[in-house]
Amino acid sequence: MAQFRPKRLDLGCFTNIKIIRDHTKRKVFEEHEPERQALRFMIRNTSLPQRTRAQAQLQLTQMHCYTRPTQIRNRCIMGGKGRGVFRDFRMARYQFRMKALAGQIPGVKKASW
Amino acid sequence: MATPSYARSALCLGKRLKLSPPPNPAIQCQTRGLRQRATPAHALAGTSPSQHVQKRHESTQSAVEEAQPSPPIDAATAAKELQRIRLPRAVQATYLDPLRRPSRYHVKTCELQLRSYSIRNLEVFADFAMRAAYYLKLPASGPRPLPKITERWTVPRSSFVHKKSQENFERITVRRQIEINDGHPETVAVWLGFLKKHQYYGIGMKANVFEYGGLEVAQDMDAEAEAIAEKLGETLDLVGGKRSLMNSEEEVQGMVESEPFKAAWGAHAAMSGAQSVPHAHKRIASHVVE
């Protein structure tokens, strides 16, 4: 969503629209996390009146989808791929293989046992 | 000359010396290794030292005939003398295992874990840390090798269809642990700071520091809290809600029970769970103006 995006590109790595989108989602989620948590707390708190809890539910569902943590997906920093991305290296499997064979990932070697 | 004279090997020296009529045994038998640095410059220079000495002797003979000439330096004895000079102890110690100080009370004060992907770097730095601990008079034990952490990844060599052909990668993290017993907290902090300052490449460090207090922990903590309160001054009042407001219990109770407050959280609405809904005139906050 363009309204959340900064005027200037604030990314230094490989960029394509999917990466920018994901980055925006992360930032928006970070910004709204306390609000989301507060609403979640109100919804689950049985000592609060039903009405308050229902209102909190409504408010939570009406928040923008970019504020949801489930929107965030790890993407390959080298090629922007969304599948087969290693959390340890933030790279998709093929990029990881190339880098590892080139010796550019510290400590990673070809294994044989 | 392409190579400097000191860089040439002893064999080379021997060759050169054969050209001069009296071969000099003193230089041929000189020890190699550590001691080599201590040999005099003229012994390693191109000309043989005996010649050098002879020349100097001739030139000064007439002038200092009666002024008691110093006995000519014999190269063999000079080399022997030089061999006898020992390296400073601290330099010698670098070739030996790091020294350790015995622990007296066996009270653990610090655990330092070093991690690396390369065993050589790790060994070097663990050794360095042990030496640093020795010179800071900290009784250190270790470096104790901890189990390796092996992580393995398997990836297809190419695209999805060729799943059968895969490749394995691994990353092995080696670890060493150094324990400090009976260390003064400040000294331990100095040691850790020193290690951090001289960090070696490819080495990660983490330390658990244990501090011990007296039995009057609660009193100490109270005193500390008071000291902090003095430092913070008024700002402390704002920590976790305004303290000065919270002091009197009745006031807080009154605030919570006041109808406008209840209304704000929805007590007056349907399904609110409140016992009863007050009349309209009670819903307005009223203050008596004196």
Residue ranges of domains in chain A: 15-73, 74-106
Query: For residue B41, what are its two tokens?
Result: 């410059």
Confidence label for B148 from pLDDT (cuts 50, 70 and 90): very high
Read off the pLDDT of each residue in B43-49 and give the average, rounded to a whole number.
44
Per-position DSSP letters for B11-42, written without gaps between them: HHHHHHHHHSSS--HHHHT---SGGGGGS-HH
* Average pLDDT of every residue of chain B: 77
Classify A74-106 by CATH class: few secondary structures
Distance CA A85, CA A95 (A): 9
| pLDDT at B153 exceeding the cut of 70 | yes
User: For the segment A32-43, what is each residue's pLDDT rounded down to a tens digit?
Assistant: 999 999 999 999
Q: CA B28, B34, B38: angle at the middle one, nearest 5? A: 70
**Considering only alpha carbons, which residue of chain A is nearest residue B155?**
A93
Surface of A (54-83) touching B: CB under 8 A: 55
Q: What is the CATH number of domain B108-157+165-209?
A: 3.30.70.600
| Contact assignment for B202 to A52 by CB distance below 8 Å | no
User: What residue in A sits closest to B116 (Cα-Cα)?
Assistant: A107
Per residue in B94-126, pLDDT (tens digit) is 889 999 999 999 999 999 999 999 999 999 999
Of all residues in chain B, the percent with pLDDT exceeding 70 is 68
**pLDDT surpasses 60 at B79:** yes
- Chain B residue with the nearest C-alpha to that of A47: B273
Domain A15-73 and domain A74-106 have a common topology: no
Distance of alpha carbon B242 from alpha carbon B128, whole angstroms: 52
Give A 81-100 residues with CB within 8 A of chain B: 86, 88, 93-94, 96-97, 100
User: Scanning every residue of chain B, which has its alpha carbon at the shortest distance from the alpha carbon of A87?
Assistant: B153
Could you give the maximum distance between any two Cα atoms of chain A, in Å? Answer: 63
Best residue in B170, B175, B265 for a mutation probing chain A (most A CBs within 10 Å): B170
Q: What residue type is assigned to position A60 of the chain?
A: L
Q: Give per-residue burial for B142-161: e unless 16+ CB within 10 Å, then b.
A: bbeeeeeeeeebebbeeeee
What length does chain B have? Answer: 290
Looking at mean pLDDT, say which of B28-32, B44-48, B134-138 comes out highest.
Answer: B134-138
At A100 the pLDDT is: 94
Domain extent listing, chain B: 5-84, 108-157+165-209, 220-268
Which residues contact residue A105 at a Cβ distance below 8 angstroms, ignoring those fewer than 6 apart?
Answer: A89, A96, A99, B171
Domain range A15-73, CATH class: mainly alpha
For residue A38, give how far its alpha carbon lies from the nearest alpha carbon of chain B (Å).
14
ipTM of the complex: 0.83
Contact B155 A93 (CB under 8 A): yes
Rounded to the nearest angstrom, the gap between the alpha carbon of residue B5 and the centroid of all alpha carbons in its chain is: 39
